[in-house]
């Protein structure tokens, strides 16, 4: 299937990733992607950066880089927020307004696994935030969630759920992701909820690597029209 984008990638700013923003941009253009989003970890992730890094990002001339790297790749600058206990987040509303795309997810240094009810409750708070677009890797078995409630709330709030390619890597520390992804995708089919497949690349070689995600999509007969990776226009509709 046609796959023209990657909307979850990290640069050296995240503290545990290995390329600069411009290296990542160039690699995406060389791979022929039509869109790359740079989504560095928000400040509560150990080793990541200060909120000023994100609030200052309006100075990045996205079009300059599009031209510099061949004219075919659009660049979005965003962040992957840490969901904090209670459904709070780690960047201000004012800063989020300056970003092109905002992901939110649960990470063990920022959120100690609690109960299924608490995880679900906190996801619902995130889904009600108009400045957040994508729930990233909701498939981590360390954070059980009521997927039917999650999918229905994502649909009601016009949000995107991520199928994270890295979660499906046997080396990933997230637990039982495949089983949880299957559960999520089945509810997405039932409620017609769109998803996006992302690499979660922390190095340029992983940009656009969605192979495990697409394999699962094919296995389940998941409908292509619910996968946003096929069209930049479809994605932008969700961001607006």
Q: Tell how strand 195-198 and strand 74-82 pair up.
A: unpaired
Structure tokens at 190: 């039932």
Q: Least distance in Å: CB of 223 to Zn ion? A: 26
Select 105 or 209, whichever has its Cβ closest to Zn ion.
Answer: 105
Select 95 or 105, whichever has its Cβ closest to Zn ion.
Answer: 105
Does 11 engage in binding with Zn ion (CB under 5 A)?
Answer: no
Q: Report the C-alpha gap between 20 and 120 in whole angstroms.
A: 35
Q: Least distance in Å: CB of 145 to Zn ion? A: 15
**Number of Cβ atoms within 10 Å of the Cβ of 44:** 18
Select 39 or 69, whichever has its Cβ closest to Zn ion.
Answer: 39
Does 9 engage in binding with Zn ion (CB under 5 A)?
Answer: no
Q: Least distance in Å: CB of 40 to Zn ion? A: 9
119-147 burial, b if ≥16 CB within 10 A, otherwise e?
Answer: bbbbbbbbbebebbbbbbbbbbeebbbbb
Q: Is 87 left (phi over 0), alpha (psi -120 to 50) or beta?
A: left
Q: Least distance in Å: CB of 209 to Zn ion? A: 15
Does 105 engage in binding with Zn ion (CB under 5 A)?
Answer: yes
> Among the candidate windows 23-31, 84-92, 103-111, 211-219, which touches Zn ion by CB under 5 A?
103-111
Per the CB < 8 A criterion, the answer to whether 199 and 165 are in contact is yes
Does 165 engage in binding with Zn ion (CB under 5 A)?
Answer: no
Q: Least distance in Å: CB of 104 to Zn ion? A: 9
- Measured from each CB, the residue nearest to Zn ion is 105
Q: Report the C-alpha gap between 231 and 134 in whole angstroms.
A: 16
Select 143 or 222, whichever has its Cβ closest to Zn ion.
Answer: 143
Q: Which residues bind Zn ion (CB under 5 A)?
A: 105
């Amino acid at each position: 299937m046609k796959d023209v984008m990657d909307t979850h990638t990290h640069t050296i700013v995240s503290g545990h990733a290995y390329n600069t923003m411009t290296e990542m941009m160039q690699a995406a253009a060389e791979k022929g992607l039509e869109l790359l989003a740079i989504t560095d970890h928000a400040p509560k992730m150990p080793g990541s950066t200060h909120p000023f890094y994100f609030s200052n990002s309006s100075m990045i001339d996205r079009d300059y880089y599009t031209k510099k790297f061949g004219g075919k790749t659009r660049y979005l600058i965003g962040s992957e927020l840490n969901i904090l206990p209670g459904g709070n987040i780690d960047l201000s509303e004012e800063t989020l307004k300056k970003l092109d795309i905002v992901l939110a997810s649960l990470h063990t240094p920022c959120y100690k696994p609690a109960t299924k009810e608490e995880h679900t409750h906190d996801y619902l708070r995130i889904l009600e935030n108009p400045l957040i677009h994508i729930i990233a890797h909701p498939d981590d078995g360390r954070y059980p969630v009521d997927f039917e409630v999650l999918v229905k709330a994502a649909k009601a709030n016009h949000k995107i759920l991520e199928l994270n390619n890295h979660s499906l890597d046997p080396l990933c520390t997230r637990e039982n992701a495949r089983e949880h992804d299957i559960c999520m995708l089945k509810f997405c089919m039932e409620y017609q909820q769109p998803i996006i497949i992302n690499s979660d690349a922390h190095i340029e070689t992983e940009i656009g690597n969605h192979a495990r995600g697409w394999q699962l999509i094919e296995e389940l007969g998941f409908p292509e029209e619910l996968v946003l990776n096929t069209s930049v226009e479809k994605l932008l509709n969700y961001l607006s």
